[in-house]
Amino acid sequence: MSNSKQAVPDTLPLLRDRIDSIDSQIQMLINERARCAQKVAEVKLAEQGGEAVVFYRPEREAQVLRRVMERNEGPLGNEEMAKIFRQVMSSCLALEKPMRIAFLGPEGTFTQQAALKHFGKSIISAPMAAIDEVFREVESGAANYGVVPVENSTEGVVNHTLDSFRDSRLKICGEVEERIHHHLLVSPNINSEDVTHIYSHQQSLAQCRAWLDRYWPHVERVAVSSNAEAARLAAEAGRSGRAIAAIAGEVACELYGLTKVSANIEDRPDNTTRFLIVGNQEVPQSGKDKTSLLISAKNEPGALYRLLEAFERHGVDMTRLETRPSLMSRWGYIFYIDFVGHYLDDECRAVIDELRERASEVKVLGSYPVAVL
Ligand SMILES: C=C(O[C@@H]1C=C(C(=O)O)C=C[C@H]1O)C(=O)O
């Protein structure tokens, strides 16, 4: 292979010749990489044989992406370079085994956007109508993994997702964060002044509440099952001349051919949603992991204090605490706790052992690599 740091020529024809020659080398190397991934699949099949073979390895993918970012010298930025490798791995994995990914649909949701960011584009998309359907699809084996929203920086937790973990045996295999921009959309034939209703998912309505109060105080807000569904309904209404607007993102806007009345209307400019990847596998340590726990506490004085004290004593960094009603007993609670580290790390294991002595139930929902992209 030629020296990668040769002097850059300075005429257009020579520059294009150089780019052509670099492209053919990159292409050859990508295919060489793909042949290695195919071989990896053969080895996995031979080694794991009878059991369901695990092709997707989140911890390995996170390590590959982190290394890409660490060794990157530019001029392309670290994230840009990692996105390219994200897609290369996605194509390689699809050669090993195409992954069917269930997500909160329909097509065009932010959850789909998150799925593509996490797995790359070489996946089979399986949009589901509700969060519990995503869980069921993965539990039944119809989909390999699922993607669900879990919390938003403006609006807080997605209760449906947390509640789904109560009765599910699925594990969290990963997380992904997505900046969320909302737009007010109408069908192109509709005059925005005629709008009578604004449709969106309740989370999106809440994330734009101050903006709506200010500019659309007298228009009725209607919560529907997703913002992509809101966009679909706005497009359908437009066809029969009814003036319904939707709040949704870029993907839904394009998918349903809508026009933007106002862009980036979210109340907080740093509005971000965190999504979880759920699957049937426990993920080994990647070197930079997080763990999520579900804990049922005994209903007695100091119960929460005794749980939290264990984290402090072992120096484990808790990143999130949510409380939900237990449903089993009135005024009983379930806590959802996220912390930095893998459940196999010594100090994390010590914390979990102590929590088990102090709580009536401790369920490890999963340890997974901290989001890279
Ligand atoms: C190649 C492998 O299989 C998959 C593809 C990967 C890749 O293309 O780098 C990485 C991890 C797996 O999701 C592997 O396990 O190493």
Q: What proportion of the chain, given as a percentage, has pLDDT over 70?
A: 98
Prediction ipTM score: 0.98
The closest-lying atom of ligand 1 relative to the alpha carbon of residue 89 is: 8
Average pLDDT over residues 231-245: 97
- The one-letter amino acid code at 132 reads D
Q: Tell me the DSSP string of 38-81.
A: HHHHHHHHHHHTTSPP----HHHHHHHHHHHHHH--SSS-HHHH
Give the closest residue to 126 by CA, choosing from 117, 138, 140. 138
What is the structure's pLDDT at 50? 65
C-alpha distances (whole Å) from 310 to each of 293, 344, 363 are 14, 16, 16
- Check whether 276 has a pLDDT greater than 70: yes
What is the structure's pLDDT at 331? 66
Residue 289 in contact with ligand 1 by CB distance below 6 A: no
Number of H helices, E strands in the chain: 12, 15
With bands split at pLDDT 50, 70 and 90, how would you rate the model's confidence at 2? Answer: very low
Residue 155 in contact with ligand 1 by CB distance below 6 A: no
Ligand 1 probe mutation, 54, 55, 57, most atoms within 8 A of CB:
57
Tell the residue number behind the tokens 């002595």, with chain if given: 357
- Check whether 51 has a pLDDT greater than 80: no
Q: Two tokens at 178?
A: 């997505």
Q: Two tokens at 2?
A: 């030629």
Residue nearest to atom 9 of ligand 1 (CA): 89
- The one-letter amino acid code at 283 reads V
pTM, two decimal places:
0.90
Q: How far is the CA of 6 from the centre of ligand 1 (A)?
A: 31
Residue nearest to atom 5 of ligand 1 (CA): 93
The distance between the two most distant Cα atoms of the chain, rounded to a whole number of Å, is 78
- Beta strands at 197-201 and 244-248: parallel, antiparallel or unpaired: parallel
Residue nearest to atom 1 of ligand 1 (CA): 37
User: Rounded distance, CA 102 to CA 115, Å?
Assistant: 9
- pLDDT (tens digit per residue) in 277-316: 999 999 999 999 999 999 998 777 888 899 999 999 999 9
- Check whether 4 has a pLDDT greater than 50: yes
- Check whether 3 has a pLDDT greater than 80: no
Residue 274 in contact with ligand 1 by CB distance below 6 A: no
Q: What is the mean pLDDT of the chain?
A: 94
